[in-house]
Structure 1
Amino acid sequence: MTKIKASSSLNPITFSLVIAAAIFVLLVSMFIAISYGAKEMTLSTVWSAVIQYNPALTAHQIIHELRLPRVLGAAAMGAAFAVAGALMQGVTRNPLADAGILGINAGATFVVALSFAFFPNLPYSALIALSFSGAVMSTVFIFLLGRSSAGGLTPLRLTIAGAVVAALLHSLSSGIAIYYNLAQDLAFWYAGGVAGVKWSHLQLLVPVISITLIGAFALGRQISLVSLGEDIAVNLGVKTKRIRVLGMAGAVLLAGVSVSAVGSIGFVGLVIPHIARKIVGVDYRFIIPLSALLGAVLLVVADLGARMVNPPRELALGIMVALVGVPFFLYLARKERRSL
């Protein structure tokens, strides 16, 4: 039986070093992000607030109640968006796949807009469930639309269908916001941000994201085979339909719950898997865990940058990510067009 290992020159020791380096960069980024804010904090104050929290100290309260959940939320959602993109790129064999580009985020945001209009007092757990259901419905519709044309579903048709559905759902969400005077309430969901993440949110989101990430790691080998082509995967005994369903289900779950917490942030799932692929090769056993770490780093650093551009005002997190993601998307789209 052909082994995936042959397709990647990365050995376990090198991969362990890469993961260790990514973890180190993530921890340093998180510590810097926790330290920065409107109120200056010394490194010793930050360290003591994290390790030995004292609720009687104002500085500790700021770090523990505001900055720490914000930074942890950015790391968790960055990992979720990045792995969602990696899963979609692997199972669809589409290098342009991303929860934002394919309209999955737009579906979640649309259902959030509906819930704000008709059920404004829903608990956060219900909002997560609705956001996920919106992501599922938009994904199903996109796949049906992409497969309706002659020739079946191709990476290009999937991208076009996702762009069309995303535009439609964003327009509908904007219409609902205007009609029901929700523009200010939904501004956060359009621009994206982690300023509103609380400990209560993390208690719901982190277990869901963690379990889904573990499942994604377990699918790494099968997704690598699927990404090589239908015939190769079937000949090697992979149940391709089952893997595609599981991979897309994981991607939709990660994207849906993340949108419910931080809004519709695109391009993380597009950019990060490609960077991971450049570092560790084409094996998704390596791509998925590294994407999780790099995605966490990207969103933590982007949130820090959003706070540093014009303090004390903050730039929308989605804008900071788009400054990197849009040029990268145009580059990939041009490269993909040449290969057709």
Structure 2
Amino acid sequence: MITGKEKSAQWKPAQPIAILIVAPFIMVAVVILSVLYGAKDMSFSIVLDAILHYDRENVDHAIIVTSRLPRVLAALLVGAFLAISGAVMQGMTRNYLASPSIMGVTDGSAFFITIAMILLPGASNLTMIMLSMAGSAFGALIVFGFGSLLRGGLSPVRLAIIGTVIGTFLSSLSALMATYFQISQDISFWYNAKLHQADMDMLLLALPLGLVGFILALLLSGSLTILSLGDETAVSLGQRTTVVKALAMIAVIAMTGTAVALVGKIGFVGLIIPHITRFLVGVDYRWLIPCSGVIGAIFLACCDLASRFINYPFETPIGVVTAIIGVPFFLYLIRTKGGGKHA
């Protein structure tokens, strides 16, 4: 059921417009902070000099251009893709617990990447991204397939349990294969989120592929708003629900697969951000999708920045930071919403 606050936000676009106007300035501030601060602090003059007059022999310049800048840009991109994927999944399934990390999508991607690193050790970046997307589809297919076979399996809590079990199984199987084929160190980068190793070439390759999913999600935004009201309502309004769900899942696969191939598994972004955004802008997906993207980008970049100082001078894996926030939020949703579906 749509609450009064959600109706108000839905019919007053001032809030989402304000978010979309203010967000770029916050992003610029986060980028500056991320480039300036870390294990070694940099002055603003050094950062500016590295960007305008890059010298590969200068260690500070190399740290800024080849490490910190790609890292924060990857955090912004991945945060946006995961948040939008979560919003799309919650809309198409009417499941308030739906997100790539809970529904087996990210675990499927990591599983296929593990196989690729064993069978195709010299695979190109493009091949890894494509296999990651295929793994996303594989993970989602197994989870939703099992859910449809079990009585009540598509309810939010039960589907989340199925997703967690399948995800854990795929992760364990990946770890077993990595140990057997002695590639555990390489695989650990994905399972601990290798954001600190973000590569600019990989980033430039991933950007257009992920944008395909983002554009598709935007094109489906009106249909997702109707679909989130329920299948019967959507059908009565003339919507082809099967086609919309299939296209929405393609968008999720494109964005999540790209994100996992780029920086590895990062959980809870797709769960937390859509709920926060829905509270701020309402249930109209024409606003919800872009606002989820910018808020998710800022959220993950801030988590990455925080990960550098929680155990300074050592870095905390960003997956730990998102889990510290995400696990209590997950439990809060189960406690407050029970087993029902959102409107």
TM range (shorter): over 0.9
Q: How many residues align?
A: 335
Segments of 5+ residues of structure 2 without an aligned counterpart are: 1-5
Is the 8 Å Cα contact of residues 216 and 248 (structure 2) preserved in structure 1? Answer: no
Q: Which residue of 2 aligns with 1:147?
A: 148
| Distance (Å, rounded) in 2 between the aligned partners of 1:103 and 1:91 | 16
Structure 1 match to 2:84: 83
In structure 1, what is the equivalent of residue 3 of structure 2?
none
Does residue 1:292 correspond to 2:293, yes or no?
A: yes
SS of 1:308 mapped into structure 2: coil
Encode CA deviations 1:252-283: one digit per residue, 9 max, x unaligned: 22111111111111100000000101110111
Distance 2:153 2:19 in 1: 39
TM-score when normalising by structure 2: 0.92
Aligned residue runs from structure 1 range 43-192, under 5 A: 43-50=44-51, 52-55=52-55, 58-150=59-151, 153-192=154-193
1:181-260 to 2 correspondences below 5 Å: 181-260=182-261
Q: Displacement of 1:58 after TM fit? A: 4.4
Report what 2:281 is aligned to. Answer: 280
Distance (Å, rounded) in 1 between the aligned partners of 2:107 and 2:339: 29
Alpha-carbon separation, structure 2, partners of 1:288 and 1:202: 22
Indicate conservation of the 8 Å contact 2:39/2:308, yes or no.
Answer: no
Write the distance in 2 (CA, Å) between the matches of 1:123 and 1:31: 31
Amino acid in structure 2 at the alignment position of 1:288: I
C-alpha contact 1:10 1:280 (8 A) present in aligned 2: no
Structure 2 match to 1:320: 321
**Which secondary structure does the structure 1 equivalent of 2:100 belong to?**
coil
Render the CA deviation track for 1:220-273: whole Å, top value 9, x for unaligned.
Answer: 111011001112211222211111111111112211111111111110000000
Residue type of the alignment partner of 1:55: D
CA deviations over 1:141-167 (Å, ceiling 9, x no partner): 212111112357333443232122112
Secondary structure of the residue that 1:55 maps to in structure 2?
A: coil
CA contact (8 A) 2:157 2:334 kept: no
> TM-score normalised to the size of structure 1?
0.92
Aligned-pair identity (%):
38
State the distance in 2 between where 1:161 and 1:17 align. Answer: 38
Q: CA RMSD in A?
A: 2.0
Q: What's the CA shift string for 1:98-157, capped at 9, x where partnerless?
A: 111111111111111112222222122111111111111111121211111235733344
**Residue ranges of structure 1 left out of the alignment (5+ in a row):** none
In the aligned structure 2, how far is the partner of 1:320 from the partner of 1:248? 27
Q: 1:59 to 1:248 in 2, by over 3 A?
A: same
The one-letter code sitting in structure 2 at the alignment partner of 1:179 is: Y
- List per-residue Cα deviations over 1:23-69 (Å, max 9, x = no partner): 2222211111111123322223324444x243365433321121111
Report what 1:302 is aligned to. 303
